[in-house]
Amino acid sequence: MRRVQLQESWPALWRDCHFYDLAEVYGQPDNLGYAYAYAARRERALRLVDSFLQPGARILDVAAAQGNFTLALAEKGYRVTWNDLRGELAGYVQLKHEHGDVAYAPGNVLELSFPDLFDAVLLTEVIEHVAHPDVLLRKVSQLVRPGGYIIMTTPNGAYFKNRLPKFSDCADPSVFEAAQFQPNADGHIFLLHPEEIAELAAKAGLEVAEQVLFTNPLTTGHLGSERLLRVLPRLVVQALEMLTQHLPHILRRKLLVQTAVLLRVH
């Protein structure tokens, strides 16, 4: 992935994306907790892709923003289609594209069609931004070949600091339609609980092949630990993360911040 330098002539959206790239790609975070959480999410998603797909597989990266997952997968030999509602971001991704097979399909994935089915769809931090997560899963599953996969990450709705509603408790999700598709944490509508994911998957004709909770609140800075993170060696932070993976499930369900899910299409 090519490193790009900030240009004052860029559109405001490109400049915003470069700000996030400083933390997510270039190793210059203002917020170490955010950077650690992003790195853990990226590692989990890419590991799931590598575990179940071979290079050459076709992957659709939905709401891919500045294309960091898209470009990483392309460099591994996957054929990746970048998608985002904000079509003007395609130019920013192209600046960073160094090698690998990348196509561009801007637009609302709920309204797009493609000539061929994909081997997998990547949904990283997307489903919590839509008013109808059940509709999103059904639509995306129709874009994947039988036996293919949806790789999804999303905040854990059962995390003890979560104050957002469960999707299953909302009688009329359409009331949130005006607020959907907004970026960043301010755009979160529902945060799905682990059991909700299984229920939504089953209704969409999907099978949960793997589901894991990860990232503890200390290493995300959620407990006021940002100053501590600045003096702790990265290996210690990683060891803390590993320790929490061995907690009983009832504790992990409440203490861990993120969920990664592998869904298989029937």
pLDDT digits (tens, 9 = 90+) for 205-232: 999 999 999 999 999 999 899 999 999 9
Look at residue 186 in the predicted model and tell me its pLDDT: 87
What phi and psi, each to the nearest 5 degrees, are found at residue 216? -95, 160
DSSP, residue by residue, 211-252: EEEE--TTTTTTTS-HHHHTTS-HHHHHHHHHHHTTS-HHHH
Looking at domain 12-265, its CATH class is: alpha beta
Look at residue 250 in the predicted model and tell me its pLDDT: 94
Q: Domain residue spans in the chain?
A: 12-265
Local structure of residue 196 (DSSP, 8 states): H
Q: What is the largest CA-CA distance in the chain?
A: 52
- How far apart CA 25 and CA 34 sit, in angstroms, is 12
Look at residue 105 in the predicted model and tell me its pLDDT: 98
Residues of the chain falling short of pLDDT 70:
none
Look at residue 43 in the predicted model and tell me its pLDDT: 96
Within 13 Å and on the Cβ side, how many CA atoms surround 243? 9
Q: Are 74 and 100 in contact (CB under 8 A)?
A: yes
DSSP, residue by residue, 5-73: ---TTS-HHHHHHHHHHHHHTSS--S-HHHHHHHHHHHHHHHHHHHHH--TT-EEEETT-TT-HHHHHH
Look at residue 214 in the predicted model and tell me its pLDDT: 96
- How far apart CA 41 and CA 259 sit, in angstroms, is 9
Handedness of CA 166, 110, 55, 91 (dihedral sign): negative
- How far apart CA 124 and CA 155 sit, in angstroms, is 10
